Chain A
Amino acid sequence: MDSPRGSLGSWELRSIVGNMFPLLVVLCVIVLWAGITLEDAQEMLEQYGILALMVPTMVDMGGNLGAILSSRLSTRLHLGTTDFDPRDRELWANVGAILALAATIFTALAFGAYLLGGLVGSALPLTTLLTIALVSGLSVAVIAVVFSFATTYASYRLGVDPDDTTIPIVTNVVDVFGMVIFIGVSALVLGF
């Protein structure tokens, strides 16, 4: 297609890379903390390989939940429902659904890790796995909810489009919490 270069606007190669790359570097620096936590927990993971099975999900899922809620909240703001009234039952339905999803998914994660544990030759009792997955998972879900409200509201107030900057930041910050809390709770439960 031979559209004149000027009309490409935000689809210009330089503008996509120029806008995106600095944000990516900032996000990397944030998530580096999660990496350092994981490296530090190396001995625990060597002893309990079954925990390694849960790591990618623990890193992603809080961010996924935060992204679902943030995009719903930002759609509400775009549509003109600008108040976060604590008496608004619809808002509480959103929060409740996120927490219910977290409870379901992290229970399924514990069962999944329990079943796959034999495959990697590492086992822990189901109750221990459920405790680790649900305590860390629900804590992360609560953090995801708080951060989604705070950043969606802040970006609305500051006039920034949440889709471009705040949602990636929420997702990555929540990912870090996911890792730090998961490793902390595991160490506590296993007495490491």
Chain B
Amino acid sequence: MNWEELVFEAKPFDGLLVLDVHGHIGAHRPFQLGAYSAAQVAQTATRMGVDAVCVSSLPSIVSDWKWGNEEVAQACRDFPGLILGYAVPNPYYEDCDIAPYLSMPGFRGIKVHGDMQGSLPLNDPRYFAAYELADKQRLPVLFHAWLPSEVAAATDVAKRYPNATIILGHSGMTARAAAVQAARECDNILIDTAISSTYDNAIEVLVDKVGADRVVYGSDISFFDCIHTMGKIALAKLSDTDKEKIFGLNAKELFRL
């Protein structure tokens, strides 16, 4: 693969499996996003040659869990195969049952974001019902894990639920030492690449520490444009094999595609 030609001629990443494990759809209250509808995310993914992007609904995290999860279900129906879904639990509702979503077409896992749910630790027992589902069904759980404390909570969950796969969102870039330690302690932990800003060579350092098998491409679209992280990986000083694993091969297994 000629990665420089790909990027500088702005070619879509066709012929390479690209699975984005970290996406969102839906409006966001505190600040204005760019393009955030499912149709807009799907349009960008198609234009860039992304094979699938797994999304959660932002309103499902910060507001009405049911409304938001329905929004994702609709997106999975509208863009089958291209938009995949994470079901989001709300720990404040005893009647919050995400199991029905996990049996719907397109849903591939669970997303948890304690920071936007009242700064609740992600190993709070109120999340355990969701983790039990993930453990039973051997599903991935994408953690918002920006801080070392969130990585610690995710590590606790990974140990309690060894059949679930925990994806540490962001922390390979924001709390790398903690994320690397977590990945070394738990075989069921992966680290994604989502970050708004970082420096060149950061992904290479992460791969050097945990291996390319443990790193997955995540963009955090629609908070961010997926393009900058795709460019960062494409132009990184990594082997073709490592880039292929990060862009899609690792997540293919995870999402059972």
A associates with B: no
